[in-house]
Structure 1
Amino acid sequence: MSHVRIIARLDIKGPNLIKGIHLEGLRVVGDPHEHALRYYSEGADELLFIDIVASLYQRNNLSDIIKRTADRIYVPITVGGGIRSLDDVSKMMHSGADKVAINTAAIARPELIGEVARRYGSQCMVLGIEAKRTAPGKWEAYTDNGRERTGQDVVEWARRAVDMGAGEILLTSVDQEGTRKGFDIPLVQQVCDAVNVPVTASGGFGRAEDLAAVGATGVSGIAIADALHWKRMSLIDIKAAAAAAGLDVRPIAGSPA
């Protein structure tokens, strides 16, 4: 089984770290900077920051948060939400981001995928997909935090975006997000089978057994929010459970490999 990254996901609204269910019903968790530092110190392989209202208001407010965080964190940082142009990408990279996740703007103007990949490298261009199930084995891509339909089939869109230069896919199941009921395994499996770039699964982690199930799909990354924010499991617990399930995860410094 290939190496799997355990990624702490932080959804941001204004100055606050928040968490919802199905990307709705948001509750304030606290200061994103403090939580990011804690997840880094606990052993997160990467951090993912999403400005969840950026597309709605056509702006991304994360640059100050990222600047503060990047000064003290030495793992890759991905930033998403409201990134619509090469200028926006440049601003995030100068703030300390390593990668950008683009959803709404990539749907609106797919050429942006290739433009970002050519200027910054495909490894920087992460395609964000918010997927909702429409029928057994079928999913539609949504934008604006799961509010707006696109008419795009998720698997076909993932394949097309990779052909245009996307170097990674951040796949969020809106149906499972915040439910603690496990990942949408058929969704993750179909996308992993369709593309030859790393796929990060987000939405639904609830208990240790979920790690083995999603790991078996061939994902490269597992994004976790709810369990970390409400301290239901620590990253140390999660990584130990992942290793026990046979996943190849980076050991936490000071813990037995």
Structure 2
Amino acid sequence: MNRRLIARLDVKMEHVIKGVHLEGWRKVGDPKARAKLYYEQGADELLYMDVVASLYGRNNLSGIVRAVATEVFIPITVGGGIRSLDAVKEMLAVGADKVAINTAATLHPDILRAISDTYGSQATVLSIEAKKLPNGGWEAMTDNGRNHSGRDAVAWAVEGQKLGAGELLITSIDQDGTGRGMDAALIAAIAAEVDIPVISSGGVGSPKHVVDMFRNPDVSAVAVARDLHSGKYTLGDFRGACLQAGIAMRRVDAGLAA
């Protein structure tokens, strides 16, 4: 099975932003233009996260997703502030293929079952923002890493699968935005306990970091943000390194999404 490269776009109002440890954000681009650029570079999927949705009580990306979906023909996942079936319906109606649920699921786990039963497990992504604990393990955080859920990240991933999630998005808060590499131990601990695809996010600083993560056969996808937004690397650079390392990837013509 081909592994996937996902372009992650964290959005605040009308801007793509990037921070470190899910805070200290700075503006790095336009969410529509960036989506088109990463599509042309060969992204397998796009991931939009509304990072201030919890402050306003709803996701504000519907207009952006509607516009992007007319020009970008790869799966789009949308997360942040999605707390009801009506919100899911709205996002899927404007062109999203999947929704990522974090805070709402920790408060009302049955929402995962409701989404899965209504729209299918393939559209249901459990987003876990994990932070290392001093005595070992990781806690699942909520509200873009601001608040504690009290849930063990690995146990919550297992429960999420049982509730109907068809995919897991695991973001390492400790590694996010650092460029120091991904939290391989976190991803391995979760991937070993579930049978659904696992997306690793947080910490990519070079193509080698992506290759290293894909050495784990249980990792389905890697989400990249910082180095794409800065222009340090393109998705072609990451894909080329993976192919050279013998990792099964979708082959993309240079400069044109296949």
- Same topology, TM > 0.5: yes
Do the aligned partners of residues 254 and 208 (structure 1) sit closer, same or farther apart at CA in structure 2, a change above 3 Å counting? closer
The answer for the alignment partner of 1:109 in structure 2 is 108
Offset, 1:3: 2.0
1:254 shift after superposition? 5.1
TM-score (structure 1 length as normaliser): 0.97
Say which is worse superposed, 235-244 or 132-141, in terms of deviation.
132-141
Is 1:177 matched up with 2:171?
no
- CA contact 2:145–2:173 (8 Å) conserved in 1: yes
For 2:36, the aligned partner's letter is L
Preserved contact between residue 41 and residue 254 of structure 2 (Cα < 8 Å): no
Which runs of structure 2 are paired with 1:51-130 in the superposition (5 Å)?
A: 51-130=50-129
Q: Is the 8 A contact 1:211 1:242 kept in 2?
A: yes
Alignment partners' CA distance in 1, 2:205 and 2:224: 9
User: SS of 1:196's equivalent?
Assistant: coil
| 2:221 corresponding residue in structure 1 | 221
Q: CA deviation at 1:153?
A: 0.2
Measure the CA separation in 2 of the matches of 1:254 and 1:33.
21
Contact residue 137 and residue 186 of structure 1 kept, 8 A: no
CA distance in 2, matches of 1:85, 1:135: 34
Q: How big is each residue's C-alpha offset from its partner over 1:192-239, in whole Å with a ceiling of 9 and x where there is no partner? A: 101000000000001122122211222101000001000010111110
Deviates more, 1:209-218 or 1:112-121: 209-218
Matching residue's letter, 2:164: G
Structure-1 separation of matches of 2:136 and 2:122: 29
Q: Does residue 226 of structure 2 align to residue 231 of structure 1? A: no
The 1:193/1:136 distance shift into structure 2, 3 A limit, reads: farther
- Distance apart, 1:135 and its partner CA: 3.7
Which is worse superposed, 72-81 or 238-247?
238-247
Aligned residues: 255
Question: Within the alignment, does 1:247 sit opposite 2:247 as a pair?
Answer: yes
Structure 2: how far apart are the matches of 1:139 and 1:243? Answer: 32
* Deviation string, structure 1 residues 24-43 (Cα, Å, up to 9, x no partner): 11000121100000000110
CA distance in 1, matches of 2:244, 2:132: 31
Check the 8 A contact 2:199/2:221 in 1, yes or no.
yes
**Structure 2 counterpart of 1:239, which letter?**
R
CA distance in 2, matches of 1:11, 1:143: 15
Q: Where do 4+ consecutive residues of structure 1 move more than 6 Å?
A: none
The aligned counterpart of 1:31 is 30
1:13 counterpart letter in structure 2: K
Code of the aligned partner of 1:234 = T
Deviations 1:109-152 (A, max 9, x none): 00000000000000100000000000465000000111100110
Q: Is the 8 A contact 1:137 1:187 kept in 2?
A: no
Matched residue type, 2:243: A
Aligned to 1:202: 201
Letter in 2 for 1:82: G
Asked whether 1:168 is paired with 2:170, we answer no
Task: Determine helix, strand or coil for the equivalent of 1:91.
Answer: helix
Tell me, yes or no, if structure 1 residue 5 matches structure 2 residue 4: yes
Distance across 2 between alignment mates of 1:90 and 1:8: 23
Q: CA deviation at 1:57?
A: 1.5
Structure 1 residues 21, 254: closer, same or farther in 2, change over 3 A? closer
**TM-score normalised by the chain length of structure 2:** 0.96
Equivalent AA in structure 1 for residue 236 of structure 2: I
8 Å CA contact 1:89, 1:100 repeated in 2: yes
**For 2:97 and 2:208, how far apart are their aligned partners in 1?**
31
Match for 1:5: what amino acid?
A: R
1: CA distance, partners of 2:160 / 2:51: 22
Identity, % of aligned positions: 49
SS at structure 2 position matched to 1:113: helix
Match of 1:7, as an amino acid?
I
Letter in 2 for 1:106: A
